[in-house]
Amino acid sequence: MGALAAELVFGVLLAPQCGHVSTERAPIKLLLVDDAVFARDFLLAILAEVESGIELTWRSDYATGLESLQGGGFDVCLLDYQLGDRSGLDLLREAKRLGVRLPIIMLTGHGSAELDHEAMRAGAADYLVKGDFSAESLDRIVRYLLERTRAEDARRDSEERYALAMEGSNDGLWDWRVGEKEIHYSSRWKRILGYEPDELPDLLESWWERVHDDDRVRLDHDFDGHLRDTTTPHFENEHRLRHKDGTWRHVLVRGKAVRDERGRATRMAGSLTDVTMARSRDPLTGLANRVLYLDRLEHSFHRAARDATYRFALLFIDLDRFKNINDSLGHDIGDELLVAIARRLEGCVRLVDTVARLGGDEFVVLLDESREPDGATRVANRIIEELARAFVIGSRELFTGASIGIALSSQHYKTPGELLRDADTAMYRAKAEGRGRFVIFDGAMHARAVHVLSVESGLRRALEAHQLEVFYQPVISLGSQRPLGFEALVRWRHPERGLVAPCDFIPVAEDSSLIVLLDLHVLKSAATQLRAWRDEFKVDLSVAVNASRRHFSRAEYSGDVAQAIEVAGLPAKALRLEVTESVTMDLPETARAQLAALHALGVQLYVDDFGVGYSSLSMLHTYPFTGIKLDRSFVAGLDGATSSTEVVRAILAIAQALKLEVVAEGVETLGQHDALISLGCTRGQGFRYARPMAASDAAKWLSSKL
């Protein structure tokens, strides 16, 4: 056996003579890396329409996407070009640099030839335009790339796998003459499964009957492909085998067929390696990893299918503010914090429950025998309370928190993956509702996710088709009521629905990278339009443009602004960028650098909706703000509420002391107008003076006021 093992690369046996060969197509493991949960739900929805045989796994950011690509276990990857604050192209290049051979399909929103060529140069196997493909076309492209890549990898890896055969000779060895019932197993092979040499018969069925049901199709496909195809020099597969004690062992098998002069396989031999520990534990925290967690989830799922009285629950946990800690203090501190969090999570559950780390700052908990919904909600509350307490890492006291989505077991679930998907969806709802809380999944969430993804796809097309239009609302001098400038506001002129209200699409854009493209479109359009008005009316007007917090995690934002005003020929001081208070709260270091660069450029910086969030004096004098927007909720109370009057008086006094300009927004009545003047506010905007108008109407209004 020794000489033969040195000659052959390892393999797993699924003998066609024993009647175990399947003609079914192997399920394809498809990895989606996209920062929008709605993209995942959209793909799941279209794949559910046909029997595609594609199993989808989702990663929502750069770090976990790269970790999954490096970790393997997937056949093809769909990668979004806009990946939050990082570029999908950057992830593609890094994956290729690290030797990832997985075929990667780039998802784009524009169908730009230049963008597509750039993706292909970076190593993309293909590209697709979001919203312009069906389940059938996706299935066809994925299967073509998978087969092409397997053929290329087999040729490229022949020498590498030959070397692995030598290394694997110390693992469990096997040797089989094709067509026979008997097979030789080494003693080590049997002991990996918990058997002594004389306990397990040397029969092919001794191996095959222990293979996990979900792994058999892929084994059939891989094994038969190697037996039939003389161009595939090696065979390799990872699957699960049932141990003597009833648990599952993850094994990696490699092998090679010996062929006669006509190319027919006459003998196969190779080795079996136990990779259970490597596959089941997160190396940083020691918690269960994704593989072990999914195994236990699957076990609970099938138990619930057999026993109607059995209940379990999933908790999907995402840490709040962890990225800020990681970015500002470094990955070493971040890793120590993750370990400390893991220990607290273990203290919140019973020994029969499973705590796992899926990657990055995402954790999951499987609650066994959960009495729904009380048991799950009690544990969720306990976790939220524990993670809200301070962590002492070195000499630092750090604070984080958790948003938790809960999915309860139910007979309507067809796969364990659906349960995990719904827990993930509920977690995102918890984050949207303010973080530091839990949400139990209900069916309306999935319907909402599909709707929002539809809006996102439509919005991408709207950007390409120039359906987004900039409206302008005047900002006036309250005393003279002469125009000082405008606020630029985006509107979507839909070809079928007409003018779509901002509240129907802005939140969707803010939850994805689309807000970056949308804001830049408004910025460039408004800068160009304002320059035209300044030239036509010979008056120094300004224009205000909203800047989403997503911009402030992009180092190139100040450069984008500089380019926009340079192209338009607009003085920097004529542009007013309005940012929310959350920018300075959530991104303190990156926000400081971006705001400083914009200030140096000469752009005016305003705090939008001042007074309704986390307003503080330290924020106003720490960052280079020029002025503030007095929130409409305070203005609305000036018609009679004494408390609102005093709040506005205090805000104006603070602004005067710090030499900040104030613009009151939402002025609708004469009483509000008069009250603002009496309190010393000099600038305002609102329906009292003019509604947001298309550029042509704004020009007419401007002409009548000058």
H or E element in which residue 651 lies: helix 642-657
Omega prior to 588 cis, within 30 of 0: no
pLDDT in tens, 342-352: 999 999 988 77
Cα separation, 630 vs 652, in Å, equals: 9
pLDDT in tens, 418-466: 899 899 989 988 887 877 889 888 866 666 666 667 777 888 888 888 8
Tell me the torsion sign for CA atoms 304, 306, 308, 310. Answer: negative
> Which pLDDT band, with edges at 50, 70 and 90, does 16 fall under?
very low
Return the amino acid letter for 680. G
Cα separation, 663 vs 630, in Å, equals: 6
Question: Which pLDDT does position 230 carry in this prediction?
Answer: 72
- pLDDT mean over 96-120: 80
Return the amino acid letter for 16. P
Taking every pair of C-alpha atoms in the chain, what is the biggest distance, in angstroms?
102
- Alpha helix ranges (H) inside 193-321: 204-208, 216-228, 276-280, 290-306
Please name the residue that has the structure tokens 């205000």. Answer: 544
pLDDT in tens, 667-688: 999 999 999 999 999 999 999 9
Judged by DSSP in three states, 31 sits in strand
Query: How far apart, in Å, are the Cα atoms of 428 and each of 38, 52, 454?
Result: 11, 28, 18
611 conformational bin, left if phi > 0, alpha if psi -120 to 50, beta if neither: left
Tell me, rounded to whole angstroms, the distance of Cα 205 from its chain centroid. 43
Cα separation, 296 vs 313, in Å, equals: 12
pLDDT in tens, 475-502: 999 999 899 999 999 999 888 888 888 8
H or E element in which residue 346 lies: helix 331-347
> Which pLDDT band, with edges at 50, 70 and 90, does 1 fall under?
very low
Q: What residue ranges define each of the domains in the chain, with the CATH number in brackets?
A: 2-23+160-278 (3.30.450.20), 28-155 (3.40.50.2300), 281-450 (3.30.70.270), 466-705 (3.20.20.450)
- pLDDT mean over 246-253: 85
Cα separation, 115 vs 460, in Å, equals: 15
Return the amino acid letter for 48. A
Terminal Cα-to-Cα distance of the chain (whole angstroms): 97
Question: Which pLDDT does position 114 carry in this prediction?
Answer: 74
Judged by DSSP in three states, 388 sits in helix
Tell me, rounded to whole angstroms, the distance of Cα 598 from its chain centroid. 29
Token duo for residue 331:
């990955």
Which segments within 151-308 are labelled E, that is strand? 172-177, 184-185, 235-242, 248-259, 265-274
H or E element in which residue 317 lies: strand 313-320
pLDDT in tens, 375-421: 788 899 899 999 999 999 988 899 999 999 999 888 888 888 889 98
- 660 vs 373, more confident: 660
pLDDT in tens, 148-185: 877 777 766 654 554 444 444 457 888 888 888 999 99
Query: Within 13 A of 180's CA, how many CA atoms are on the CB side?
Result: 12
Say what percent of the chain tops pLDDT 70: 87
Burial category of 24 from C-beta neighbours within 10 Å (exposed 0-12, middle 13-18, buried 19 and up): exposed
H or E element in which residue 425 lies: helix 416-432
pLDDT in tens, 77-105: 998 888 877 888 889 989 988 888 888 88
- pLDDT mean over 227-245: 82
Does the pLDDT value for residue 3 go beyond 50? Answer: no
pLDDT in tens, 306-321: 888 888 999 999 998 8
Question: Which pLDDT does position 449 carry in this prediction?
Answer: 63
Cα separation, 249 vs 670, in Å, equals: 76
Q: What integer best gives the mean pLDDT of the chain?
A: 83
Highest mean pLDDT among 164-173, 258-267, 652-661: 652-661
Does the pLDDT value for residue 17 go beyond 80? Answer: no
Question: Which pLDDT does position 392 carry in this prediction?
Answer: 92
Does the pLDDT value for residue 243 go beyond 80? Answer: yes
Question: Which pLDDT does position 307 carry in this prediction?
Answer: 83
H or E element in which residue 507 lies: helix 506-510
Query: How far apart, in Å, are the Cα atoms of 535 and each of 396, 676, 695, 705?
Result: 56, 32, 15, 16
> Which pLDDT band, with edges at 50, 70 and 90, does 43 fall under?
confident
Query: Within 13 A of 493's CA, how many CA atoms are on the CB side?
Result: 9
> Which pLDDT band, with edges at 50, 70 and 90, does 526 fall under?
very high
Does the pLDDT value for residue 12 go beyond 50? Answer: no
Say what percent of the chain tops pLDDT 90: 31
Rg (C-alpha) for the chain, rounded Å, is 31
Tell me, rounded to whole angstroms, the distance of Cα 449 from its chain centroid. 14
Question: Which pLDDT does position 124 carry in this prediction?
Answer: 85
Torsion of CA 109, 113, 119, 123, to 10 degrees: 140
Question: Which pLDDT does position 352 carry in this prediction?
Answer: 79
- pLDDT mean over 685-692: 94
Helix count and strand count (H, E) for the chain = 27, 29
Judged by DSSP in three states, 640 sits in coil
Highest mean pLDDT among 5-9, 194-198, 215-219: 194-198
- DSSP string spanning 574-635? GEEEEE-THHHHH-HHHHHHHHHHHHHHT-EEEEEEETSSS--HHHHHHTT--EEEEPHHHH
Does the pLDDT value for residue 615 go beyond 70? Answer: no
Other beta carbons less than 10 A from residue 100's beta carbon? 20
